Amino acid sequence: MADVKFPKLDATALEPTQRALHAYSKVAGAWAKVTRKKRKHWWHASLRPSLYGMTTGVMYGDTDFEIELNLMQSCLEIRTCSSMHRQQFAGQSSAELAETIRKVLFAAGVDRDLAPAADVESDTRYPDYSPRQASLMHGAIGSITSALEDFRAGIREEKSPIQIWPHHFDLSMIWLPGTKVPDQDPENEEYADKQMNFGFAFGDDGIPEPYLYVTAYPLPDEMPNVKLPEGTTWRSERFNGAVLLYRDLVKNADPAAYLLNLWTGLIENGRTHMCVSDQRASGDR
């Protein structure tokens, strides 16, 4: 199942497993946040897509380690240079998973002072966790990451890594044209950097099913008027952005080609309207 490209996803069947993996990703992400050196736009606090699911990547220190959420085989994997611990996902709470990670890493020699706060942990259990649904999620993540990698390779300006954000549980890549937002502190990159976000989420309160999105900050007045491929629409409720329901994406004969066409059209519009330097941003009145 993991080798299926752009698998069909059933939002209702997916939801219990999505909630569990979202909770587990917050635990793994907390270790990335406290162990990596801070990077702009919080790029240090995210997970990365991996061959089997999602990972912290290697965390370097006195004892190097990696935490991976293996969706293909439904298990937690904790690796150091001298050991590997595996625990199956069986609906356990994120607090139980976090305790396992602490025990394994401390036994391997990781400094106890590095342990993140327990504020992302919960005692909620997930008895309806499904390995099959996790495998389908793995297929979707891998397929969209592959398309994003192809898109990313053609971008000459700065762009983020392809990341999985534990807070919202979405996969995304940010494009930075290099220009600043007027009247914002240029040292505060969160608000000062113009940017576009190309992403995918498994669903949330606003859109309760898997969907892809493209947003821009600040949103150029012209962008909502861009002609979008059939199936993608511009939404202004909760956030302004182009939205494509995943179930509509997979109806295409070549979903990856559809995404590349969509993303390319929108980033070209961004280059036209966001790469223009605004003298006010540099304090030149």
pLDDT per residue as tens digits for the range 127-152: 999 999 999 999 999 999 999 999 99
pLDDT the model gives residue 275 = 84
16 vs 280, which has greater pLDDT? 16
What percentage of the chain exceeds 70 in pLDDT?
Answer: 95
Asked if the model's pLDDT at residue 204 lies above 60, the reply is yes
**Which 8-state DSSP code applies to residue 6?**
S
DSSP bridge partners of 68? 55, 77
List, for residues 151-197, the tens digit of each pLDDT value: 999 999 999 999 999 999 999 999 999 999 998 998 888 889 999 99
Cβ atoms of residues 222 and 213 within 8 Å: no
Average pLDDT over residues 226-240: 92
Q: How far apart are CA 208 and CA 10, in angstroms?
A: 11
State the DSSP H helix or E strand holding residue 151, giving kind and residue range, or none if neither: helix 131-153
DSSP code of residue 61: S
pLDDT grade, residue 237 (50/70/90)? Answer: confident
Buried b (16+ CB within 10 A) or exposed e, 51-63: ebbbbbbebeeeb
The pLDDT assigned to 276 comes to 66
Domain boundaries, the chain: 11-120, 132-282
pTM score, two decimals?
0.93
| In the predicted structure, residue 279 carries a pLDDT above the cut 80 | no
Contacts of 205 (CB under 8 A, 6+ apart): none
Distance spanning both ends of the chain, measured CA to CA: 59
Q: Which of 157, 161, 154 is nearest to 178 (CA)?
A: 157
Dihedral pair phi/psi, residue 172, rounded to 5°? -155, 165
